[in-house]
Amino acid sequence: MTTPDMSWGAHAPGMAPMPGWQVPGLQAPGVQAPGMTPPSVPRQPTAGSAATRSGAFTPEAARQDIPVLQRPVNGRPVVWLDNGATTQKPRQVIETLAAYYATANSNIHRGAHTLAREATEMYEGGRAAVAGFLGAPSPDTIVFTRGTTEAVNLVAQSWGRANLGPGDEILVSTLEHHSNIVPWQMIAKERRARVVPIPLLPDGSIDQDAYADLLSFRTQLVAISHASNVLGTVPPVKEMTALAHRYNAKVLVDGAQAVAHFPVDVQDLDSDFYVFSGHKLYAPTGIGAMYGKPEVLAAMPPWQGGGNMIDQVEFGRVTYAPVPHCFEAGTGHISGVVGLKAAIDWLTSFGREAVAAYETALLGHAQQALAAVPGLTVLGSAAEKIAVLTFTLAGQDPMTVARRLDQDGIAVRAGHHCAQPSLRHYGLEAATRASLALYNTAEEVDQLAAALTQMQAQAAV
């Protein structure tokens, strides 16, 4: 098959071509259409592999790839500390999306022409890349979704409808984002099951004693986040999963806030489901993925019906495509998958362990810097956490704090962060959140602390 030329040449009338847009590696080698032998799973590169960049990781190396960080906001260089809501995109992702649409755009799987074959290879190559990124055993264990929210709803509506009944219980930690609470409430109401919250300790960690006490043979599923979007807490997911499995309960792990910060191995975790969103992983919006154990996926009925997920359709009967395609009704977000693979390639090029170590050090610096701000209280002090700092500022409304920081070009998030139970654990309805990523620097953290200190000084006058 001919590899499409990914050099950026043609451009719209009246517009200058984008300089230097070369997109190597967009075509995924060896990928087959559904029903044929799947590609092998590429393992994610490690810090010492040939696929990583030379030299130690630095945030400056990452920043050079992020175009939006070069723009000013309100006359100041933008300081993007809203990574928990969405991450900024490297040029490698942006260029890959543009090159895909410019040279290889097509629907996938069913076309006999060249562009269809090329687009299918890219799409299924993305599936193999996600499998490798998560340490999954096969690309066939990866289902593409619009994001974490749709993935949780898929499990709730497919697995949940088939397996939950009156009196059954779903344990959900109080850390959870609403997208890992509300779908369980909806299916529990329909199936006359019960959602049971797992409480937190004062430091924002999950109360493991309470969790052990809540587990029973009524427990059918445990839903836990791998990292909290408000408190940054990283629960002992592997241990919690092992305990749930003693009661034959399934475990769904929300990895939306985890996958960008540290390596994940779903086989080591032994989770039954693992879900995440691309846009928090330096990839486009509208794309995400769900990992499921092969035997669990094989027993689940399709959730949505339509094209792509069928084998044969008659008015008297229908048969479905094999896993994972039976869960991907309609035309998928093809360019989103292509962009997701580019984002994974970009992130892993730095070495995951090196990035995790840098972010841990940056978190330590941020904790010290914010501790010096008068009247500032950071929520959550669990020993294991990602670089998320949600805080209150005495006498200041969180939304006002965010608006005033924006005047200095500093972007943070304010509100309930779609995690109201977590905030109410501290008696709050809203707070301000600064969430860090690999391209943030100690200097940016110091700018945040200085702006907050100045804000308090002005309020005291």
Phi and psi of 332, rounded to 5°? Answer: -75, 175
The continuous run of DSSP H or E covering 376 comes out as strand 376-379
Sign of the dihedral through C-alpha 341, 46, 437, 179: positive
Beta bridge pairs of residue 313? 318
Greatest alpha-carbon span in the chain: 77
421 preceded by a cis bond (ω within 30 of 0)? no
- DSSP code string of 402-439: HHHHHHTTEE-EEE-TT-HHHHHTTT-S-EEEEE--TT
CA distance 350 to 104: 28
Token representation of residue 404? 């005033």
DSSP 321: P
Quick check: helix, strand or coil at residue 195? Answer: strand
Does residue 418 have an active-site annotation?
yes
* Contact criterion met (CB below 8 Å) for 400 and 451: no
Q: What are phi and psi of 385, to 5 degrees?
A: -155, 160
Tokens of 84: 């928990």
In this structure, how many other beta carbons lie within 10 angstroms of the beta carbon of residue 148? 25
Residues 6+ apart with CB under 8 A from 135: 43, 44, 264, 265, 266, 267, 268
- 401, 432 in Cβ contact below 8 A? yes
Cα(405)–Cα(235) distance, rounded to whole angstroms? 31
Catalytic residue among 61, 214, 418, 450: 418
C-alpha radius of gyration, the chain, whole number: 23
How many CA atoms does the CB half-sphere of 58 hold within 13 Å?
Answer: 6
Q: Looking at the DSSP assignment, which residues form a beta bridge with residue 253? A: 224, 274
Task: Give catalytic residues, as residue numbers.
Answer: 418
